[in-house]
Structure 1
Amino acid sequence: MNHLPKVTIIMATYNRARYVVETLQSIQNQIFKDWECLIIDDGGTDATAVVIAPILAQDNRFKYLHRPDTYRKGLPGARNYGLDVAKGDYIIFFDDDDIVHPQNLELSVLELSHNEVSFCRYIREVFYDTFDYNFDYSKEYTSFYINEKDVFRLLNQELPFNSCAVLWKKECFFENRYTEHLLHAEEWELYSRILSTGITGISIEKSLFFARKHSDSMTGQYFRLDPIRTLSNIDAIVLVLKNLKEKSLINDPIIRYFIAMSHGYTEYDLFGKIMRELEFSGYNYLKWRLFYFILPLRFKITKLKKRIIKKN
């Protein structure tokens, strides 16, 4: 009988021949050994297949797959395919250009094994250019629990849920999948949806993943004001609000947060989309319309007060 791995690592890849081998080697260096890594090629045209061939031949825990056309092109579609073929009890998503701490799976699996929780979150750091492999192997760290009351902290990035910084129990994805048409904020939308179902998790205060920053990264493309990803971000916001409304988790702080955000998307009428999604009319519509118009003035007054305090 074939052995089923405890953990499935899902790695979507697209033209990352330059970095992917280093990432795969960091996965091979995991102290916890009971895993499979599904490398899902999203239609790349570079030498990825060639450079990873020696690793595939040496280590059968790696599987190189191509995203079928039944899944939409893009990171969400590739990851959804990975979810559908994953064999592990636990799921984690790694990017194809980053570095994984050797204790990543060891400590995350340990937390899920010892606690009645559905996911383990940890700290993700970023690096540029060459990575310093001077890892901290300490097993002493603090932790705290997370539940649906923390959805807003996830949404406003007070409690970031980076895709590569959470180990999930597989059942978290039985009813939840990535929204495949989203090309930005797809993780933010999905993870807020999962957390809103009432599951609980644990967050450990230890850096276990290191994200490489470079000009070709997805976030790099977004911050160059790629209009396609800007529209995706708006779609994700509307989907988040729709989910929270359905689960009766909408409250004034959440509304204020997204209305404040809508000032950055005036040309896309994000405010109007928010009002329509929340089905506000009458008093509620006028209340939030007034808040929307007054907000820029409040920002200016706050900045002026800070300047006055600084001078004094």
Structure 2
Amino acid sequence: MAHSPLDPASSLPTGPAPRVSVIVCYLNGANFIEEAIGSVLAQDCSDWELVLVNDGSSDESPAIAARHAANDPRIRTLSHPDGRNHGVAAARKLGVDAARGRHIVFLDHDDVLRPWALSRMTGILEREADVAMVFARTLYWAWDMTIGKEEMESSFAPFPPGRLAGQVMLRDLIRWDTRHPPPCSIALRRDVLLATRGDGALWHGMYEETALLMKILARHDVWLLDEVVSSYRMHPDSMCIKAEAAGTLSNETVSRDRVRYIGWAARHVAMDWRSRLLALTVWLKGEAKLRLAPRR
């Protein structure tokens, strides 16, 4: 029986596993997904696969994905068996389970990679065998000026480029709200990701990526790459902008979403005593401020 282009069995890969799997999960991403796919095709290395996961789209994005998969054997399309929307966590799990690469990069359908992104990040993982992740710099791209965000490049200052102890980076994530790059500037070892995913409770929703990174940093070092490798598109339909509009996320005042995830992390992440004490302090101070803050 012939398979649909979106059936996971439709394009089973053969041959050696690629160095890196780029996973793009999309929901009604027709406005942007062409650019995301094009940025992978433009990479200065060719040892990659692109896994496009449809999370219940009703627009033209599945057709765009299928067209690219038909033109390049390194590109595969997936969808949930019931064809419905299951959320980012379930879509990424589907993509990771199907991925064959030694390393993983999550590229949101509205973001783009610079041509050197995969070669730079995975080159470090190939060279530094005991580093679990690479964090690179990002351009926060003010694609839509109506949201009132200024364009800027991220920085890891005061940390120098190179290896950084995981617990040190973990404490930095506890102190600051936006200190790690978005997924498009992170490369992870697939085996570490799978082991962490199966190691106890995971946090879902806002801060899902940060919570996963904290679990990895509790056990592994990270490499800071002082180079912009991606552009993170800021626009009104992004998850963070929607949460800010709803009043649950804020970079200026206490954030209800952040307080909840820090409390979860203090209980479920294998922190050393310094990190746990810091997390409990931030959580308790946040809870106290929330009790005094007016609800929106």
TM-score bucket of the superposed structures, by smaller chain? 0.7 to 0.9
Q: Deviations over 1:147-175 (max 9, x none)?
A: 22321102233742422221111121232
Answer 1 or 2: which has greater helix percent. 1
Cα distance change, pair 191–45 in 1 and its aligned pair in 2 (3 A): same
C-alpha separation in 2, matches of 1:106 and 1:155? 30
Contact preservation (8 Å) 1:182, 1:236: no
Cross-structure match for 2:197: 177
In terms of mean alpha carbon deviation, does 93-102 or 76-85 score higher?
Answer: 76-85
Residue 110, structure 1, aligned to residue 142, structure 2:
no
How far 1:127 moved relative to its partner?
Answer: 1.0
Residues 231 and 108 from structure 1, CA distance in 2 versus in 1: closer, same or farther, beyond 3 angstroms? same
The AA in structure 1 aligned to 2:34 is: V
Segment drifting more, 159-168 vs 100-109: 159-168
The answer for the alignment partner of 1:289 in structure 2 is none
2:182 alignment counterpart: 162
CA contact (8 A) 2:164 2:224 kept: yes
Among 91, 96, 99, the residue aligned to 2:104 = 91
The residue number in structure 2 matching 1:271 is none
What is the one-letter code of the residue matched to 1:5? Answer: P
Preserved contact between residue 103 and residue 208 of structure 1 (Cα < 8 Å): yes
Deviations along 1:110-146, one digit per CA (max 9) or x if unpaired, are 111222312111001111238xxxxxxxxxx943424
Q: Does 1:194 align with 2:206?
A: no
Distance 1:216 1:37, change over 3 A: same
- 2:78 match: 65
Is the contact between residue 119 and residue 167 of structure 1 (CA under 8 Å) also seen in structure 2?
yes
1:258 to 283, 293, 296: 283
Aligned match for 1:149, one of 155, 168, 182: 168
Pairing partner for 2:62 from 45, 49, 58 = 49
- Aligned-residue sequence identity (percent) comes to 20
Q: How does 1:24-35 map to 2 (within 5 A)?
A: 24-35=37-48
TM-score between both structures, scaled by the size of structure 1? 0.73
Which letter maps to 1:143? G
Of 224, 231, 252, the match for 1:210: 231
Q: Distance in 1 between matches of 2:173 and 2:203?
A: 22
| TM-score, length basis structure 2 | 0.77
Residue 298 of structure 1 is matched in structure 2 by none
Matches within 5 A, 1:223-262: 223-225=244-246, 233=258, 235-244=260-269, 248=273, 250-262=275-287
Shift of residue 204, structure 1, vs aligned partner: 0.8
Q: Which moved more, 1:251-260 or 1:89-98?
A: 251-260
Report the CA distance shift for 1:207/1:187 in structure 2 as closer, same or farther (over 3 A): same
Distance in 2 (alpha carbons) for counterparts of 1:246 and 1:115: 23
Instruction: Identify the match of residue 126 of structure 1 among 140, 150, 159.
Output: 140
Partner deviation per Cα, 1:43-86 (whole Å, 9 max, x = no partner): 11111122333322211211111034699811111111111111
Displacement after TM superposition at 1:250 (Å): 4.6
CA contact (8 A) 1:17 1:51 kept: yes
Encode CA deviations 1:80-122: one digit per residue, 9 max, x unaligned. Answer: 1111111111111110011101000111111112223121110
| The structure with more radius of gyration | 1
Letter in 2 for 1:194: I
State the SS of the aligned residue for 1:8: strand
Sort the Cα spacing of 1:98 and 1:68 in 2 relative to 1 into closer, same or farther, 3 A: same
Task: Note if contact 2:167-2:272 (Cα within 8 Å) is conserved in structure 1.
Answer: no
- Any stretches of 5+ residues in structure 2 without a counterpart? 1-13, 145-159, 250-254
2:105–2:187 contact (8 Å) kept in structure 1: yes
Aligned residues: 258
The runs of 5 or more residues in structure 1 that have no matched partner are: 131-140, 269-312
The one-letter code sitting in structure 1 at the alignment partner of 2:90 is: G
CA apart distance, 1:225: 1.8
- Quick one: structure 1 residues 69 and 188, their matched pair in 2 at CA, closer, same or farther if it must change by over 3 Å? farther
